[in-house]
Structure 1
Amino acid sequence: MGFVAHIAAALALPPATAGAVGALGYLGTGGFNPWKEAFNRAQLGLAAFLASTANQVAGPLAGGAVYFLTNLGALTLLGVGLGKPPASLWSENFRAFLPSYLGLFPVSLTVSALYRHPLVTPWGGADALIALFPVVYVYFLWVHQVRLANAMRNIVEASVRYLEAKDPYTAYHSERVAAIARDIALEMGLPPDQARTVELGARLHDIGKVKVPDPVLKKERELSREEWDAIAKHPLYGVELLRPLESFLGEVFPVVLYHHERWDGRGYPEGKAGYEIPLTARIVAVADAYEAMTSDRPYRRAKSPEEALKEIQDLAGTQFDPRVVEAFIRVWEKNPVWKKKNEYLKTTLA
């Protein structure tokens, strides 16, 4: 959030002074890295310097735009140099920050105006600091939100671990399904935030099984109709268990609820078909099936990756969305680490 002060400096101070404020008014996090520190300070100093110059020539709107575009250009060049596609840099970094830039730019205008024309104190610097108090307050709200999100992730992790402890045959099942589903989502061109939703939904897709009785969950022989009905309710149980976390997890509910629906409408719990099933759930359905096929169960041996791939292909258009299967095949042919469960477990446990 330091850009509020940086832009305010660019709009109120000469270019050289604004550049110094941008370079020196930066507080790094996550440990000291001299190269990263030098890059960030140079980038922010240059952005503030150019923004101040643009402000003197064409006004504050030009100054704010130049500040944003300078930062965007510097990080894009760095990302391209590190081998990252420019489109992913935009979606992962700047698309989420753009509303903050636009929303807080008026605060920068106010701070710069109070610095030049103080209203409360005799010195403009004091007025500017007073105007920045709301920004500091918002920062601490953001820190609190991050802590809540981290706590939610810890709850999710603990819940998945509890499920796996109940049923040792599904150990690391959710993690592997999540890895497969994430790769399919990215292969299909889903934006990173939606791919993360798919990944989190995959980690939680079987969470409802914690409400299934252990004798049913661990039974090694064929299930009775009543036992099968108990298993088939786990998507409904999952949504019920996660309901208190809806403000954090609302977007993953369709994955948890519909990952056992089929393309032909013969799945459960609601018998949805085709495009009625959310895409996120259709992706996890393929990932879940492949993981299950290539894992040992008490009642059968695991299929080979090639056998499982063939079965997924054969079920395209009946059980699975054909487009999702096509993306899965493309990813599978790249020989990902999850392709063989033993190799995946070695990597994960290492």
Structure 2
Amino acid sequence: MRYYASCENQASFETFLQGVVSKASSLPGVEGVYVLRKEEERYRVVAAGGSAAGTRGLYLPRDWELREGPTDPPGPLGFSPDGTPRAGFVALGENHALALEGTSALSHERQELMKLWVDLLDREFQMRQGLETLLGVGRQLRNGRLPEEAVAQVLEALLRFGGWDLAVALREHEGTFVPWVRVGALDFVLSHEEVRSLQELLRKAVGRAEAPGIPWVVQDVQAVFPYLPALKRLGVQTVAVFFLGEGTPAGVFGALILASLKRFPHFSPETLLLLQIAKEELESWLRKTWYAEGLLRAFARVMEVLDCETHGHMERVSRLAVALGRVAGVKDLHGLYVGAYLHDLGKLFLPQELLKKDGPLLTQEWTQIKTHPEAGYEVLSPIPFLSPTALNVVLHHHEHWDGTGYPRGLRGEAIPLEARVFAVVDVWDALISQRPYKPALPPEIAAKELQAAAGRKLDPRLVECFLRLWREELEAGRV
């Protein structure tokens, strides 16, 4: 549906362009019409008619500046496509230009009409860009990326749309704002003192008098932020700040900062509307995502207190699963992350003495242990926001590559990829962690044990990938 909407959006704008060409061609004396769009500081012909018809797609030289008003021969663009010199007329807008061949003596009313057409081109194009941006925002927030990656994609979409040079998302943490995700071409490094100054400024801005949800825009950064030398060094002129959660009962939980090297005298209503809608969608998604993260960490703590898991096990396996899943080609990394946290939920339904037993399990006890994947799956499967990826990890993380695992006895690639990925990191963490029934193994010995399990319990390709990642981390001094 979104792809169809995007195609329909593009087709309708093409119709709009041709309508402008047709209307301009009907003016007395006009022999050719160009509609040009500015793309990265140069103009491209995006629609044309009459004597200019063959120029569509043509880029003007980068240093070629169009001059508004009447032009002398050979033509309004400085050349004539068919070799016949003609006078012309050019109307310039913010992103578009409309050029006529064959006439330069336009009445005041017709000059105003051309200017109106150019303004309409700019506004129509901006609205369609905004729609594409919003569709892109929705796609990025629902494609299974990790929160940081999804937010980075959203910020990049806003940069492309608005002509900003830098975007930063900040999280609220213990009463202050902490930089979280940053995108853009600017090398934006703040000292500790500058970070504290920015945090204080944001805290004051939260209580400003304007209506909640309205962006806080600073047009002259150099005057308002004299105590942020980093912004001055970068030459930032305009900053817009949106607070996430402002005006809601829960209160502000983050901020979104957009910065530009240009000074924007005003924002069009269309631009403000787009930024507001994108901010609200991001805000809603982040609130649910961070709330879910808090619940996951609380659940992990409960499991540790009940001695169902070793301290930090869930955090470790979640991080490792994402690292291996990224290399292995798992598309829904966030689902893998959530599933890693929830994989042993079913153990809550097992007797505590069974989980704490430090000797061999009896057959009946082992049969009980094997019920925990299906128990966890039955509890979690009705929850609508849990993805199939997360549920697959919960249900299938004890399946074995050779088909001897449980609960379904799946074999090889019939086991979902995300479950095979998680099984590798789960076994690894069990090997290097102390448990009631065994001591922790040194990583070098654990690596040999993991290799021994390849082709039996574990996917041999994924074992190889994991050990390569581990060695790279070891060589880099990160483990």
Q: TM-score range by the shorter chain?
A: 0.5 to 0.7
Q: Distance in 2 between matches of 1:242 and 1:52?
A: 53
Partner of 1:167: 307
1:283-310 Cα shifts (integer Å, max 9, x gaps): 1000000110111122222221111111
Query: Is 1:93 matched up with 2:93?
Result: no
In structure 2, list runs of 5 or more residues that go unmatched: 1-16, 18-36, 38-91, 100-117, 134-147, 162-267
Task: Give the counterpart of 1:288 among 401, 426, 435.
Answer: 426
Q: Tell me, yes or no, if the aligned pair for 1:197 and 1:251 is still in contact at 8 Å.
A: yes
Partner of 1:183: 323
Question: Residues 253 and 89 (structure 1 numbering): CA distance in 2 closer, same or farther, change over 3 Å?
Answer: closer
Q: Which amino acid aligns with 1:151?
A: Y
Partner of 1:322: 460
Q: Which amino acid aligns with 2:353?
A: P
Q: Tell me, yes or no, if the aligned pair for 2:447 and 2:467 is still in contact at 8 Å.
A: yes
Task: Give the counterpart of 2:358 among 220, 223, 242.
Answer: 220
Q: Tell me, yes or no, if the aligned pair for 1:294 and 1:305 is still in contact at 8 Å.
A: yes
Aligned identity (percent) is: 33
Partner of 2:338: 200
Q: Tell me, yes or no, if the aligned pair for 2:357 and 2:437 is still in contact at 8 Å.
A: no
Query: Is 1:53 matched up with 2:193?
Result: no
Q: Report the CA distance between 1:135 and its aligned residue.
A: 8.3
Partner of 2:293: 153
Q: Tell me, yes or no, if the aligned pair for 1:184 and 1:328 is still in contact at 8 Å.
A: yes
Question: Residues 136 and 95 (structure 1 numbering): CA distance in 2 closer, same or farther, change over 3 Å?
Answer: closer
Question: Residues 194 and 137 (structure 1 numbering): CA distance in 2 closer, same or farther, change over 3 Å?
Answer: closer
In structure 1, list runs of 5 or more residues that go unmatched: 1-10, 16-49, 72-87, 102-127, 345-350
Partner of 1:79: none
Partner of 1:301: 439
Q: Distance in 2 between matches of 1:131 and 1:279?
A: 42
More strand by share: 2
- Higher relative contact order by CA 8 Å / sep ≥ 6: 1 or 2? 1
Q: Which amino acid aligns with 2:325?
A: A
Report the 3-state secondary structure (helix = DSSP H, G, I; strand = E; otherwise coil) of the residue aligned with 1:176. helix
Partner of 2:65: none
Q: Which amino acid aligns with 1:234?
A: H
Question: Residues 322 and 237 (structure 1 numbering): CA distance in 2 closer, same or farther, change over 3 Å?
Answer: same
More helix by share: 1
Q: Report the CA distance between 1:164 and its aligned residue.
A: 1.1
Q: Which amino acid aligns with 2:318?
A: A
Task: Give the counterpart of 2:402 among 233, 241, 264.
Answer: 264
Q: Report the CA distance between 1:153 and its aligned residue.
A: 2.2
Question: Residues 323 and 130 (structure 1 numbering): CA distance in 2 closer, same or farther, change over 3 Å?
Answer: closer
Q: Distance in 2 between matches of 1:320 and 1:266?
A: 11
In angstroms, what is the RMSD of aligned CA positions?
4.4
Partner of 1:245: 383
Question: Residues 209 and 96 (structure 1 numbering): CA distance in 2 closer, same or farther, change over 3 Å?
Answer: farther
Q: Report the CA distance between 1:163 and its aligned residue.
A: 0.9
Q: Which amino acid aligns with 2:381?
A: R
1:1-58 Cα shifts (integer Å, max 9, x gaps): xxxxxxxxxx9xxx9xxxxxxxxxxxxxxxxxxxxxxxxxxxxxxxxxx993246579
Name the count of aligned residue pairs.
Answer: 249
Q: Distance in 2 between matches of 1:221 and 1:316?
A: 26
Q: Distance in 1 between matches of 2:368 and 2:391?
A: 20
Q: Give the TM-score taking structure 1 as reference length.
A: 0.59
Query: Is 1:235 matched up with 2:373?
Result: yes
When structure 1 is superposed on structure 2, of 288-297 and 59-68 the one drifting more is 59-68
1:72-105 Cα shifts (integer Å, max 9, x gaps): xxxxxxxxxxxxxxxx98995169959xx8xxxx
Partner of 1:44: none
